[in-house]
């Protein structure tokens, strides 16, 4: 069924943040605070081998010495790291073999999230791993994937079942010492997804992770590791929501992608954490480190639609290590009310004939601040590197801001770099044209925003594109001035 403008209007009237419910599921939460004992306890809880515990402890020790970064163009009250519970898990979770065994209340939660597992299994052909409060609660389609040799499971299980693989790749792209939040994540991550695509295998379906923060006073720290072996292909989706709360919740995730020779990884995110209320109270702090490494002829493509979070701090990056490797970044970041986003990408060109494309669309409304921050680095041995960057910002109203901080560092003469950025508002002529033809202003804006974002929306897998489009429209509700 087609989603029409009338549907949108109805939706706009009725809802603010539709994922703002809280599910009363009994959960097991650690006492607040962080020290070595907590790190060890998390590790123990997960039944982890000694090397993993040591890895976490080392990260924790590094983290203790680090300072919170302040260079981002965002203002917020620093999270109190001793006031956060670092582990929260839906309680009593026996190993489940089929969906029928899942706690009905949990299933109900997923229905309200709009991801009916059943339906999606059949219709969308999407294998879903759901992470609630950092703990993986359901993985579908495991069997089908297993036949192809694809490993797709919660990372905690992967540590048990495939320790060699995890040990080999974990922390190779984002080392524990990388930055403040990556170090914190390394020390305390409780779960996440692990995915391995064997040589030459084309993953037959979209893999998907759904993240949800449920408990209050907790932080979510999940870790995703995707390894695409030589010549393989995988498309990976990630979605996230959180209940509406007055407090600020911390989300500090790490995503590592490894694309070996000739492999391709497509990673799409629709981020819809609770953005706080209209006055800017509450909302999720989204401090995420995402990075991928490309070997020869490999390709990594990041697509993101960022509509949620009170503060976003996120730079999905590509290290183009191999010759002829390709990195892509497509992003739409929408900020409304008092949201702040500082997001962008890094393209590090090391190999010869490497290519990267950056398309970033920022839309700011209300009292929000939206920044693009990107780095394009061409190293001296990266012959014939090519980059194209385009950053467009759309401003709605007079209380918001749009900023661009592109860094371009070139050390090779054969590089070809193009960067362009524009900032504008929705043209009065465009609106007038629509009005003339009987389209009212609100709908006209939705239409124009949609057109503005099309380049990026097109890159999303079908099911996500529809959802993302809806999200865009809802996020901009009431911003017409």
Binding-site member from 4, 47, 422, 458 for other proteins (CB under 8 A): 422
Binding map of other proteins across residues 21-60, x = CB under 8 A, - = no contact: ----------------------------------------
Q: Which stretch binds other proteins (CB under 8 A): 207-215, 289-297, 399-407, 465-473?
A: 399-407
Q: Which is nearer to other proteins, 91 or 425 (CB)?
A: 425
Question: Least separation, in Å, of the C-beta of 410 and other proteins?
Answer: 5
Pairing state of beta strands 191-197 and 151-154? antiparallel
280 touching other proteins, by CB under 8 A: no
Which residue is listed with tokens 């950025």? 421
Q: Hey, what are 367's tokens?
A: 């009292």
Binding map of other proteins across residues 69-98, x = CB under 8 A, - = no contact: --x---------------------------
Q: Which stretch binds other proteins (CB under 8 A): 91-99, 200-208, 268-276, 392-400?
A: 392-400
Coil, strand, or helix at residue 296? coil
Pick from 418, 344, 359: which is nearest to 385 by CA? Answer: 418
| Site size toward other proteins, by CB under 8 A | 34
Pairing state of beta strands 340-343 and 369-378? parallel
Strand residues in 203-244 grouped as ranges (E): 206-212, 222-228, 233-241
Q: Which stretch binds other proteins (CB under 8 A): 113-121, 198-206, 229-237, 394-402?
A: 394-402
416 touching other proteins, by CB under 8 A: yes
What CA–CA distance (Å, rounded) separates 158 from 175? 19
Q: Which is nearer to other proteins, 75 or 413 (CB)?
A: 413
Q: Which stretch binds other proteins (CB under 8 A): 96-104, 182-190, 279-287, 400-408?
A: 400-408
Binding map of other proteins across residues 321-360, x = CB under 8 A, - = no contact: ----------------------------------------
Q: Which stretch binds other proteins (CB under 8 A): 75-83, 151-159, 274-282, 421-429?
A: 421-429
Question: Least separation, in Å, of the C-beta of 346 and other proteins?
Answer: 14
Binding-site member from 42, 72, 396, 457 for other proteins (CB under 8 A): 396
If one counts every other C-beta atom within 10 angstroms of the C-beta of residue 26, the result is: 9
114 touching other proteins, by CB under 8 A: no
Residue 72: φ, ψ to 5° = -65, 155
Q: Which is nearer to other proteins, 9 or 383 (CB)?
A: 383
Binding-site member from 397, 430, 448, 455 for other proteins (CB under 8 A): 397
Q: Checking phi first, is residue 276 left (phi over 0); if not, alpha (psi -120 to 50) or beta?
A: left
Pick from 96, 175, 468, 429: which is nearest to 308 by CA? Answer: 468
Question: Least separation, in Å, of the C-beta of 282 and other proteins?
Answer: 25
Contact assessment for residue 355 and residue 322, using Cβ atoms and an 8 Å cutoff: no
Binding-site member from 7, 54, 161, 418 for other proteins (CB under 8 A): 418
Q: Hey, what are 154's tokens?
A: 């919660």
Q: Which is nearer to other proteins, 321 or 419 (CB)?
A: 419
Contact assessment for residue 131 and residue 177, using Cβ atoms and an 8 Å cutoff: no
Binding-site member from 114, 406, 448, 463 for other proteins (CB under 8 A): 406
Binding-site member from 3, 51, 407, 432 for other proteins (CB under 8 A): 407
If one counts every other C-beta atom within 10 angstroms of the C-beta of residue 148, the result is: 15
Nearest-10 Cα torsion for 9, 10, 14, 15? -60
Q: Which is nearer to other proteins, 263 or 394 (CB)?
A: 394
Question: Least separation, in Å, of the C-beta of 399 and other proteins?
Answer: 7
User: How big, in percent rounded to 5, are the helix, strand and coil portions of the chain?
Assistant: 25, 35, 40
Q: Which residues, in sequence order, are CB contacts of 340 under 8 Å at separation 6+?
A: 73, 74, 75, 76, 310, 311, 312, 368, 369, 370
Q: Which is nearer to other proteins, 195 or 363 (CB)?
A: 363
Q: How far is CA 273 from CA 250, 270, 308, in A?
A: 11, 9, 5
Residues within the interface to other proteins (CB under 8 A): 71, 380, 393, 395-425
């Amino acid at each position: 069924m087609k989603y029409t403008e009338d549907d949108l209007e109805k939706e706009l009237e009725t809802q603010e943040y539709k994922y703002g419910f809280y599910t009363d599921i009994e959960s097991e939460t650690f006492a607040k605070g962080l020290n070595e004992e907590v790190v060890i306890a998390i590790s123990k809880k997960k039944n982890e081998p000694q090397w993993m515990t040591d890895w976490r402890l080392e990260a924790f020790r590094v983290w203790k010495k680090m300072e919170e970064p302040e260079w981002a163009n965002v203002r917020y009250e620093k999270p109190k790291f001793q006031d956060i519970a670092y582990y929260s898990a839906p309680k009593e979770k026996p190993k489940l073999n089929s969906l029928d065994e899942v706690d009905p209340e949990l299933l109900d939660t997923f229905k309200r999230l709009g991801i009916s597992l059943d339906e999606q299994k059949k219709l969308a052909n999407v294998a879903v791993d759901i992470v609630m409060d950092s703990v993986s609660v359901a993985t579908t389609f495991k069997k089908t994937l297993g036949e192809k040799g694809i490993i797709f499971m919660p990372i905690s299980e992967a540590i048990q079942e495939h320790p060699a693989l995890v040990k080999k790749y974990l922390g190779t792209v984002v080392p524990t010492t990388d930055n403040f939040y990556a170090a914190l994540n390394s020390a305390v991550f409780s779960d996440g997804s692990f995915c391995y695509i064997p040589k030459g295998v084309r993953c037959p379906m979209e893999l998907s992770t759904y993240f949800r923060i449920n408990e209050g006073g907790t932080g979510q720290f999940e870790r995703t590791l995707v390894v695409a072996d030589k010549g393989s292909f995988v498309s990976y989706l990630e979605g996230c929501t959180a209940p509406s709360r007055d407090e600020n919740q911390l989300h500090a995730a790490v995503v590592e992608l490894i694309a070996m020779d000739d492999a391709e990884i497509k990673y799409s995110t629709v981020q819809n954490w609770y953005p706080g209320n209209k006055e800017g109270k509450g909302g999720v702090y989204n401090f995420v480190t995402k990075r991928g490494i490309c070997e020869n002829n490999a390709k990594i493509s990041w697509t993101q639609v960022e509509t949620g979070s009170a503060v976003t701090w996120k730079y999905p990056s590509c290290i183009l290590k191999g010759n002829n490797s390709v990195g892509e970044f497509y992003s739409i970041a929408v900020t409304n009310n008092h949201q702040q986003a500082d997001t962008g990408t890094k393209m590090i060109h090391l190999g010869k004939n490497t290519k990267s494309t950056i398309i970033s669309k920022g839309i700011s409304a209300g009292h929000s601040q939206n920044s693009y921050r990107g780095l394009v680095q061409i190293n001296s041995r990266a012959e014939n590197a090519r980059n194209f960057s385009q950053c467009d910002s759309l401003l709605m109203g007079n209380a918001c801001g749009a900023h661009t901080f592109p860094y371009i560092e070139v050390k090779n003469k054969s590089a070809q770099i193009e960067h362009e950025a524009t900032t504008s508002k929705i043209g009065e002529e465009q609106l007038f044209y629509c009005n003339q033809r009987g389209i009212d202003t609100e709908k006209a804006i939705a239409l124009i925003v949609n057109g503005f974002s099309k380049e990026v929306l097109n890159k999303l897998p079908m099911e996500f594109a529809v959802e993302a489009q809806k999200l865009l429209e809802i996020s901009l509700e009431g911003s017409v001035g």
